Amino acid sequence: MRSCRALIDTAALQHNFRLLRARAGAAKLVAVIKADAYGHGMHTLARTLTEADMLAVATIDEGLQLRQAGCRLPLLVLQGFKSAQELLQIGSQQLIPVVHASHQVELLRQSGMRLPQIWLKLQTGMHRLGLAAEAFSVAHAGLGQQADELVLMTHFACAEESDSSVTNAQIECFDAVCAGLAGSHSLANSAAMWSLPETRRDWVRPGIMLYGVSPFPQQSGVQLGLRPVMQLHSELIAIQHCRRGDRVGYGQRFVCARDTRIGVVAIGYGDGYPRHAADGTPVLVDGAPATLAGMPSMDMLTVDLGPDSKAQVGAVVELWGDGVAVETVARHAATIPYELLCQLTARVSILTQ
Ligand SMILES: Cc1ncc(COP(=O)(O)O)c(C=O)c1O
């Protein structure tokens, strides 16, 4: 078996869920578990998050997989449906669609179906999914007959930024268009529900913070009181005794500034570790700090253990988790933690603790 593994700590997940639940106040909580629960394993998370009011996935396929695995919680499909056939699946599997475009409104009208709940999405400035104001009002009038309950939603483009002017403009747009329209409201992702109480409304939709990770560039999840749910581990499979001036790895990027021990770790970009991580990215080897030394390759990466290290082949290496924040690795790789978590490949075993 390949030695790299993602250990999933369900107690940490429950801790984060409770923290977010408390922060949400009276709002209902939709736990966002799309993209295989941000790489953590959608089925395990769905089985653990039984106290969520609803789960959210991106696609019908994800929703159907959860239903087939026996998940009975309300399931929101964030991209909704794109054909009459998918709409039938929504109905038969009791999935809740987000309606974000006019072609979906038309498919619903043609079907004559009545659904228990429909989420209607307003485009307020992100220009990704969502109906523009006028189409939204028209859809609202029509869909009122086809749903027992409507939830009016939007999504923020910059909620994690300390300057909330874009978010405030989106809130103003939402409130202006939705004034007087029947339906409950859902605006907030993790960053908004955490830092902007006025966005909590009736339903909040946290994703990244459930996993113990901060959406804010200046703060880690741990600083916010969260616990990382994933520990990404591998092991040392070889050690090189290098001399000052020796060069390590493809492109010879790393040059040893002293005689040192270089550890070879069984994880690379073929497992999802970022190839663009810079020299100096932290790791822990049997609990001792070490740093990336050289460009990660497909199946391996190299770390500077230091001349006095006693680490041996077989030592456990933490790439991220309790000792190395995934937010820190993301910064060293010029990306965001969301991407690192989602891009782990099938070669990494996901083990639940
Ligand atoms: C519509 C919608 N709501 C909520 C979320 C959760 O966002 P976050 O993981 O930043 O909390 C997402 C994630 O991309 C989303 O697309």
Measured from the CA of 121, which atom of ligand 1 is nearest?
A: 1
Q: Is the pLDDT of residue 2 over 80?
A: no
Q: What is the pLDDT of residues 27-49, one digit of tens each?
A: 999 999 999 999 999 999 999 99
Residue 69 CA to ligand 1 center (angstroms) comes to 23
- DSSP 3-state assignment of 121? strand
Q: What is the pLDDT of residue 353?
A: 86
Q: Is 250 a known active-site residue? A: yes
User: Does 33 contact ligand 1 (Cβ within 6 A)?
Assistant: no
Mark out the alpha helices in the chain (DSSP H runs): 10-24, 34-39, 42-48, 60-68, 84-92, 102-111, 133-143, 165-178, 190-195, 326-332, 337-342
User: What domains sit in the chain, N to C, each tagged with a CATH number?
Assistant: 10-213 (3.20.20.10), 230-352 (2.40.37.10)
Residue 180 CA to ligand 1 center (angstroms) comes to 26
Query: Which pTM value belongs to this model?
Result: 0.97
Both structure tokens of 309: 């290290």
**CA 14 from centre of chain:** 16
Q: Is 121 a known active-site residue? A: no
Both structure tokens of 325: 């924040």
Q: What is the pLDDT of residues 90-135, one digit of tens each?
A: 999 999 999 999 999 999 999 999 999 999 999 999 999 999 999 9
Kindly indicate the confidence band of residue 147, based on its pLDDT and cuts at 50, 70 and 90. very high
